[in-house]
Structure 1
Amino acid sequence: MSRLPHQALDRLADAITFHPSTEEGRALRHALGRFATGVTVVTTAASHGPEGLTANSFSSVSLDPPLVMWCPALASRRHDLFAGAKHWSIHVLGAEQLHISQRFTRNGPGFDALPHEITPEGIPAISGTAARFDCETFAAHPAGDHTVVIGRVLRVTIGGPGDFPLVFAAGQFGTFNPL
């Protein structure tokens, strides 16, 4: 395995720095938007009650051990709560559940008048989602303007509406349409 000299690493880091307010930063954001992602709601328990937020930064990491990850933004007022939570659940939304994702955006009503259950770990669980992953935090790593939170999957619940997930691509919500 070859290693780059320290000066080359410094130049490489400079070459891939994007600032959101620049033309290159907007191009990066636009290019990333071409990758369709699923839409999830991540939930945890807080001292003031159940909390949730909509996220599309969800991915599997490992089957053995069973690990998944997601990335809360540092700018989110709920970042510290979620990045520091011992337990949390990721809810994969079905194509007809856009209204649930909107409940957990910045000014949405969250859990107000939303039926939910409580997991054995005390985490609020939204009923009827396409899938749910109940997790215990395995690791959390700073990563630019986000934190990468990795969770060990304690249990999976599969069910809910339809066969197709709600997806987000090119700044818009939609559904998977098989060829």
Structure 2
Amino acid sequence: MIGVYDFCGHYDWTFEWLRQTGGEELLRQYWDEAISQDSQRHAAALILPRGIAGMVEYWGHTLEHEAAGYYCTTTDAVYRIDMHECPSKGFLMRNALHQYHDYCDHCLGWIGPLLRRAGFVVDHQHNHAGRCWWEIRRADDPTPPSAPGSLAGEHDVRLLPDWNQPGPMDTYRRANDPDDKSA
């Protein structure tokens, strides 16, 4: 049986194989159909009917189970995740595994379609070094993303001294698709 962390390497390889075989469109289809609509049906069962309360239950359990270094902030209007140590990306980096050019995109690749169906949008950044933040709001809420530290306080990943890494910082505003990158 493949271990949970070994699975991350297989995932990364599969993403690149799908891209090479059928392009980014096939990979996006995989993220939506195989992950969002199939393997993560339990996430949809919580988030679609319950909104933010469902997000709290889903990610509270999932991130704890994955032993992620994270902090979540919840209000009536926003659900925020500050990922300090992504276990999946961390495994890939520790083991020098790098197949698909942006492994982190798979999160928005499956979460985005689910949140669209639930009526939510995402503000998000990831630094390609196992750190990211997410702010999830109702699609009709025009509130911009919070300023660093204003919502999550000292737990805001953007306050870490190594948040700004050399290389790209992927930014999404009011997104539901990995192709919605604004920077």
Q: Same fold (TM over 0.5)?
A: no
Highest relative contact order (Cα 8 Å, sep 6+), 1 or 2? 1
Give the structure with the larger strand fraction: 1
What TM-score, normalized by structure 2, do the two folds share?
A: 0.28
What TM-score, normalized by structure 1, do the two folds share?
A: 0.28
Give the structure with the larger helix fraction: 2
Specify the structure having the higher radius of gyration (Cα).
Answer: 1
